[in-house]
Structure 1
Amino acid sequence: MSTLEPDTGLTSTGPARELCIAMPMLNEEKLVRQSLESLAAQSFRDFTVVVVDNGSTDSSCGIVAAFAAEHPDMDIRLLHDAEKGTGAAADTGMRFGVEHGARWLARTDTDCLAAPNWTARIMAAFDDGLELVAGQLIPREDEGITRRERLMMLLAVEVASFFGKVRPGNKGEGYLGPYQMLPGCNMAITAEMYHRSGGFPRTRIEDLHEDRALSNRVRKLTRRYALRRDVVVFGSSRRVKAWGLKNTLAWYADHRYRPEHVDIR
């Protein structure tokens, strides 16, 4: 399933720190360094970063290795997962944390920027007793979109969250609490709950939204989950720029829009 990236000097052996951050990656040579820099700037830095390459053909892996060499104080691991899919890659990173002794797990993506207090606010949420934390997703400010477009995207996230609560697929027997939209690129979960729930399904993004599936799995096991708006990640707007806001929303609403190219770079 996953293997150590060869000849990088990064190791997959040895225990992880108590907080382990999984980062799926596919051909992110333009953005991955910025994402890692945002983690290097965290106010709380006692964590392991597991970058899971999902078949990159560009220089992404080399950039990760170079960044790790420049930041020897950070615990950065680089794995390969040949099984195509954001769900598969995310699950590999999360299970690395579970299997290497982490107590808490988080996920962001390699096209995102974590706010400087992201990990600190995650730890505060766990201190409050949460087992699953959904963070606030805000559009990046460096991708050339206008203020109006950013506001529309923020509104769209709120609308999507509301419709998620009334969506028939998110209702049924066995749920202990209401649906909570879970941004895959801004979430955290205890290692124990990740293991109990079965974690992210090992799927391709074209087939299933793995973050929604995980949220629904957790809702059958605990009420201790919530949105924390102070847990902030700035996400890429490139799908909106490529597809338009309407089509992007349709894509996240059960893949009602199916573009020819899903991996926008």
Structure 2
Amino acid sequence: MSSSATQNRSSRTPLIAGNWKMNLDHLQAVATVQKLHWTLKDAGHETGSVQVAVFPPFTDIRSVQTLIDADKIPFELGAQDLSAYDSGAYTGEVSGAFLAKLGVGLVIIGHSERRAYHHEGDDVVGAKVKAALKHGLTPVICVGETAEDLERFGGSAVPVSQLEKALEGVPASADIVVAYEPVWAIGSGQAATPAQAQEVAAALRGVLARVLDDDAAARTRILYGGSVKSSNIASFMREPDVDGALVGGASLVVDEFAAIVRYQKHVGV
């Protein structure tokens, strides 16, 4: 599958996504998006060569969406989570229908912090994937192993199992993104090696081929996340099955995130 992925990679537009987590109020969010847009524009970033997405907190989404629409900023708008339910007595939850009305196109599902802090298992992740697709949202399905998983099972076993379960009942035509985030690398400053990322990404592409079909495997973007920086992004992007990055802390620093987006021009990848 990896050789096929290499052949079809030109059809997959790289995606650099910034997950802001619980940072930036709506005023700070607007300022950050404006500065990022100006920084990339001033640096000559070519729209379309790399897709840029931002995932602000829920309270910021309307402000960011209005700014993106008004100033015609070529960023995709994402949300950090959604409910498995459409509506009802679910205090504190946010429906995919609400997100779609706000122009959200992407939604993170199954992030390791949701799995760990909110005890979201594979069944919840699968239900949320289906909810996202129902409302026309593209799920960014996060998978990844802990340090203990890595030692016991190796790098790909847990991510492969998580993705297989998340894809149950998903049609082959579905538009999805997969994000491989080794839990032991998130926020640690210690990223996986490009070879480790490639090994797992190739295994995940194999899951897409087996559970969905070869076309889905060839077109679906697989991101790497976990201590991504401007100094290491190009090395990941050289790998044939890595199509972008899900960036955490570095996405809050505009100049750093802009440098990550511009990895092609900085390093000539």
TM-score (norm 1): 0.30
TM-score (norm 2): 0.29
